[in-house]
């Protein structure tokens, strides 16, 4: 996929466009992101209630990436 989306800026609707992410899963991701002030790794996202390894892989495959707050250039591109 040519388009990429920062997981720390994506809306619940954008998450739901990924086949493995339900409406509830998208809400959990957004809620946890707000609690943490953003995700800094895929491991943090995988710890969100209801988010499976399959969902994380689907997000990566769909072009989502994680921006690392501790580095100015750091972003983890999807596989």
Of the spans 2-6, 15-19, 73-77, which averages the highest pLDDT?
15-19
Cβ density class 26-55: b for 16+ within 10 Å, e for less: bebbbebbeeeebbbebeebeebeebeeeb
The residue count for the chain:
79
Predicted local distance difference test score (pLDDT) of residue 50:
87
In 3D space, the residue among 17, 22, 79 whose CA is nearest the CA of residue 48 turns out to be 22
Using the predicted structure, report yes or no on whether residue 78 has a pLDDT greater than 90: no
Q: Encode pLDDT of 5-59 as tens digits.
A: 999 999 999 999 998 899 999 999 999 999 999 999 999 999 898 898 999 999 9
Using the predicted structure, report yes or no on whether residue 79 has a pLDDT greater than 70: no
Using the predicted structure, report yes or no on whether residue 70 has a pLDDT greater than 80: no
């Amino acid at each position: 996929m040519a388009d990429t989306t920062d997981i720390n800026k994506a809306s619940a609707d954008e998450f739901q466009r990924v086949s493995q992410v339900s409406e509830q899963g998208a809400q959990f991701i957004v809620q946890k992101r707000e609690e943490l002030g953003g995700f800094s790794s895929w491991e943090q996202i995988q710890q969100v209630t209801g988010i499976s390894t399959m969902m994380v892989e689907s997000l990566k495959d769909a072009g989502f990436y994680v921006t690392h707050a501790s580095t100015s250039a750091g972003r983890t591109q999807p596989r």
